[in-house]
Amino acid sequence: MQYIIELIQQRQELVSDLPQWVKIWVLFIRIIFFSSLVFLFWWTPARWVFAVMILTGVLNLTLLNFAPGLDTKQVGTVVQLVLWIPLALYMFRQLKTNSFPGLGSDRIFTKIYSGWAILVAGVLFVAIAMNFFQALTWLF
């Protein structure tokens, strides 16, 4: 448990060096992903969002801890691309195949979930695009 606490503290130090707009974007993503807890027991996509959120953080911190010479931005970008692209494909597939209950439901909780799922898919799309363009800057 102490190891996890130390890793979280290291991550907070890394984030503190980022520009303000990046901090706001990271906070927004964390709120959206963490809100998956509300839907965790009812819908599988929420479970995947939560699992990928945890795995992203653990993998980022573990890689930075075991290879401290790596560039923190590059590690974060690569980890997010590797984990978030499959999640985004899954979320968009769920939307396309109408696996979401839909906004037309009579139940307010179902409507909120559907809106959240659409928001997650959109956030993933934007985040992946930003990370992809960031990765391109390393090549050129």
User: Distance (Å, rounded) from C-alpha 111 to C-alpha 117?
Assistant: 10
Determine the Cα–Cα distance for residues 61 and 56; give it in Å rounded to an integer.
9
pLDDT at 23 over 90: no
The residue among 10, 29, 20, 7 whose CA lies nearest residue 124 is: 29
Domain boundaries, the chain: 2-139
pLDDT at res. 50: 93
Nearest-Å Rg of the Cα atoms of the chain is 16
Contact between residue 81 and residue 128 where contact means Cβ atoms under 8 Å apart = yes
> What sign for the dihedral angle of Cα 118, 46, 64, 6?
positive
Note the pLDDT tens digit of each residue in 87-139: 999 988 888 776 655 555 567 777 788 888 889 999 999 999 988 988 888 77
pTM for the model: 0.79
Q: Both tokens of residue 102?
A: 């839909």
Q: Which residues contact 120 (CB under 8 A, 6 or more apart)?
A: 32, 33, 36, 45, 49, 91
Give pLDDT, residue 114. Answer: 83
Q: What's the pLDDT score for residue 1? A: 67
* pLDDT tens digit sequence for 36-55: 988 888 888 889 999 999 89
Four-CA torsion 64, 76, 28, 49, nearest 10 degrees: -90
